Amino acid sequence: MENELKVNPSGVSGGTGGAREYTVLTQADYENGVKEGKLFGLRCTACKKITCPPMPVCQWCGSRNLERTELGGEGELITFTEIRVPPEGFEDDVPYIPCLVRTKEGPCVVGRLDYDAERATQELLGKQVKLNGSYTKGDKFSGGPRTCPVFGVIE
């Protein structure tokens, strides 16, 4: 598991200069995982729950005793929308479908839904979905390209 994460362990070039580091799984680790079809998160050794996307403390109990884990990538579609008026830079994507997914392990993840926008109706809510790709985008304001998960509906 650990060695599957190809990361710079400090997340900072040149190390931490001796400062204690609290980030167990960086945003970059998480996004690199998504690019490889893996949904990485953190398991709390205090409350046993899963935190995802990553934070330096448990999203449920605030504990700092976190270890890296991999989620199954499956979950339930909580909601979605279909964007017709996009932010600058997303014009060529229209219409596209942002979605909110509750993973089987508990935490929710925001991503895109890979689905025909013309056929996307309220009946999709509650459907089972699975991580089936990634989407990367960046502009001069985003601090470089960022990656989000893409989910497909399990028909």
Partner 1 sequence: MRDVAIIGIGHTKFGRASKTLIELFSEAALQAIDDAGVDLKKIEALFQGAALPDFEEGQVMPAVFSAADLNLGPIPATRCEGACASASVAIRDAAMWVGAGEYDIVLAGGVEKASTMGVNFATRTFAMACHAPTEGPVGLTFPGVFAMAARVYSRNYDIPLDNLRAEMASVSVKNHRHGALNPLAQFYKKYGDLTVEDVINSRLVADPLTLLDCCPFSDGASALVLCSAEEARKYTDEPIYIVGTGQGSGTPLAKMEDLTKPVSRINSARAAFKHANLSPEDIDIVEVHDCFTIAELIALECMGFFKWGEAADATVEGQTELGGKIPVNMSGGLIGKGHPIGATGASQVYWIVKQMRGEAPKGNQIDPIPEYGMTDTLGGDFGTLCHLILGRSKRRK
Residue whose C-alpha is closest to residue 102's, from 83, 79, 118: 79
Strands 50-51 and 128-137: unpaired
Measured from the CB atom, is 3 or 92 closer to partner 1?
92
Residue whose C-alpha is closest to residue 109's, from 78, 83, 82, 86: 78
Sheet holding 50-51, edge to edge: 50-51, 39-44, 66-71
Q: Which residues bind partner 1 (CB under 8 A)?
A: 27, 53, 59, 78-91, 93, 96, 98-100, 107-112, 120, 122, 125-126, 135-139, 141-143, 145-148
Please report whether residue 117 would count as binding Zn ion according to CB under 5 A: no
Residue 61: contacted member of partner 1, Zn ion, none (CB under 5 to 8 Å, by partner type):
Zn ion
CB 54 within 8 A of CB 24: yes
Residue 149 tokens, joined: 């998960």
How near is the Cβ of 110 to Zn ion at its closest, in Å? 21
Residue 80: contacted member of partner 1, Zn ion, none (CB under 5 to 8 Å, by partner type):
partner 1
Residue 82: contacted member of Zn ion, partner 1, none (CB under 5 to 8 Å, by partner type):
partner 1
The SS3 call for residue 147 is strand
- The residue range among 37-45, 70-78, 109-117, 140-148 that interacts with Zn ion, by the rule CB under 5 A, is 37-45
Q: Which residues are at the interface with Zn ion (CB under 5 A)?
A: 44, 46-47, 58, 60-61, 63
